[in-house]
Structure 1
């Protein structure tokens, strides 16, 4: 018997705000299934229940199997699903936005479509990276140069703090193990941050592809936002993991990153920074939670959908 149209998505009022969710949950060598509105992870030790509406991103590591029903409830809850390889994290799927309103998506597209406002948002992003510095009159090339110097200084600072030797940033995307311990950690932290930020971007209804600093990739905006926190969260977590040794650097980096994400309230900051960067006032709470469709008419007038607006009835 067909189940099409039988189950509707949960309303936004029934879901946890993205800023209140767990940053990510990592699972490996288990079967992920559904039990009511929770997902279950079954392995040799038994069954673990995880409320699906509290997950920002679910990381599926090696040896995992996931059922269709589990993916269904994760999609309904707006959780992102990330498949994790042996040597890093890649984002492959995401759920529906938590808001039923298209307001933030439209603000994103409007800011991106105009060259002047696109540069203004890029400068605002760099202001978040360079606290207390003026970016108003800087060209994109000048901003890129300052960003390069900021990263080099961060690497030197973290090397001195942790005692981990540092030469330069280098990695081979086809061979994770080719890098030294801090480079492996930085790669793992960066990819994990992209998965977490992608979860926030998708949950808010923004387009991952419309970037203001990055361009030409389907996750350009994800890279933009994740880079805001690279020197504060991602790189320090990588050096902390490298300071503990060279074994299992990727998994230890993820654990260090998880702790920093929770301690700094990163998901809530992501939501706040994205809405401020896109100059989105949020609209009314009632409008954000309404499942309402309008039709665009002349002079930017919006009329109610779901009815015939012609002079003659349509039979």
Structure 2
């Protein structure tokens, strides 16, 4: 008789919350992250906070954080992502694996990104989402980049005027957060939060963060692609609003504002829908995120995995 697998059993797949319905992210620092049943705990001198893992999108682990093996195992089993970030959450260092058992979207992404025509189609669709009143179906990538650059500059100017913030240009020091002015600090914090959120959705759906359509050459190219769909709506106005108040904790105020905006604007739900629309256009069914292992059988055929097909070899 086989011995039972040691440790607490993983949560039931039926108990897990879909990516679009999860809490966007939680940021912790200077604490110990552990596990209590099917909840992640964060402990510091003030006490213990329980976080339901099955409803969490991304756990951002800031400086001074210690995380146990049991906590990481629970996050992986729950389809959540752990992201190690720097001071105030504005630097990305590494991320943990999220559990996505279906490769359907990943395969569609790989096929689309490796064909020039389909890659251009997806890139145009991404820009079309940002220019809903324009026909971009015939524009080249160079023309699309020009349109996007002009749009972003206009968004910066409008936000600066609305909140009365002096604005020159995007300027930040990756190695020195405090070297930038307040609005650039807030922009760095807001975009990092947005990257963490979109990264969590991408891996929860089983896609590759590195296979981008507009961005390329980085391990998070697709993250940057998807985050850009919402940056002008979420990150930029929030950064200027926070900067206008000149708070003492720019990073913390920005993170909390992004968290609230993501919830109010249903960004997780939209992000999930947008990724599915981009990679599998025209499909209206709800794509299942949890799949089963199959074996390729040539052409478009598959057969059930976990089966001994030795008899077929004997017949041959």
TM-score of the aligned structures, taking structure 2 as reference length: 0.91
Separation in structure 2 between the aligned mates of residue 226 and residue 284 of structure 1, nearest angstrom: 22
Give how far 1:91 is off.
Answer: 5.2
Q: Which runs of 5+ in 2 are unaligned?
A: none
Partner-residue secondary structure (3-state), 1:298: coil
The residue number in structure 1 matching 2:303 is: 303
CA-to-aligned-CA distance 1:203-246 (integer Å, 9 cap, x gap): 00001111010000110000000000010001111111101105
Matched, 1:154 2:139: no
Matches within 5 A, 1:44-123: 44-87=45-88, 88-90=90-92, 92-98=94-100, 100-123=101-124
CA-to-aligned-CA distance 1:92-131 (integer Å, 9 cap, x gap): 1233334x22111111111111110000000000011112
Partner-residue secondary structure (3-state), 2:51: strand
The residue number in structure 2 matching 1:166 is: 167
Query: For the structure 1 residues 7 and 48, does the alpha-carbon distance in structure 2 shift closer, same or farther, using more than 3 Å as the test?
Result: closer
Separation in structure 2 between the aligned mates of residue 111 and residue 5 of structure 1, nearest angstrom: 42
Query: For the structure 1 residues 196 and 127, does the alpha-carbon distance in structure 2 shift closer, same or farther, using more than 3 Å as the test?
Result: same
CA-to-aligned-CA distance 1:50-109 (integer Å, 9 cap, x gap): 1111111111222221111111101111111122311514151233334x2211111111
The residue number in structure 2 matching 1:38 is: 39
Matches within 5 A, 1:93-242: 93-98=95-100, 100-242=101-243
Partner-residue secondary structure (3-state), 1:48: strand
TM-score of the aligned structures, taking structure 1 as reference length: 0.92
**Aligned alpha-carbon RMSD (Å):** 2.2
Greater Cα shift, 43-52 or 142-151: 43-52
Query: For the structure 1 residues 165 and 114, does the alpha-carbon distance in structure 2 shift closer, same or farther, using more than 3 Å as the test?
Result: same
Separation in structure 2 between the aligned mates of residue 297 and residue 64 of structure 1, nearest angstrom: 47
Separation in structure 2 between the aligned mates of residue 308 and residue 28 of structure 1, nearest angstrom: 49
User: 2:59, 2:83 within 8 Å by CA — same for their partners in 1?
Assistant: yes
Give how far 1:305 is off.
Answer: 2.0
Give how far 1:3 is off.
Answer: 8.7
Separation in structure 2 between the aligned mates of residue 301 and residue 233 of structure 1, nearest angstrom: 43
Partner-residue secondary structure (3-state), 1:190: helix
Partner-residue secondary structure (3-state), 1:205: coil
Q: Which runs of 5+ in 1 are unaligned?
A: none
Query: For the structure 1 residues 50 and 201, does the alpha-carbon distance in structure 2 shift closer, same or farther, using more than 3 Å as the test?
Result: same
User: 1:209, 1:218 within 8 Å by CA — same for their partners in 2?
Assistant: yes
Partner-residue secondary structure (3-state), 2:299: helix
Partner-residue secondary structure (3-state), 1:128: helix
Partner-residue secondary structure (3-state), 2:155: helix
Separation in structure 1 between the aligned mates of residue 6 and residue 279 of structure 2, nearest angstrom: 35
The residue number in structure 2 matching 1:260 is: 261
User: 2:203, 2:209 within 8 Å by CA — same for their partners in 1?
Assistant: yes
Count of paired positions: 310
Separation in structure 2 between the aligned mates of residue 55 and residue 288 of structure 1, nearest angstrom: 16
User: 1:233, 1:257 within 8 Å by CA — same for their partners in 2?
Assistant: yes
Matches within 5 A, 1:244-259: 244-245=245-246, 247-259=248-260
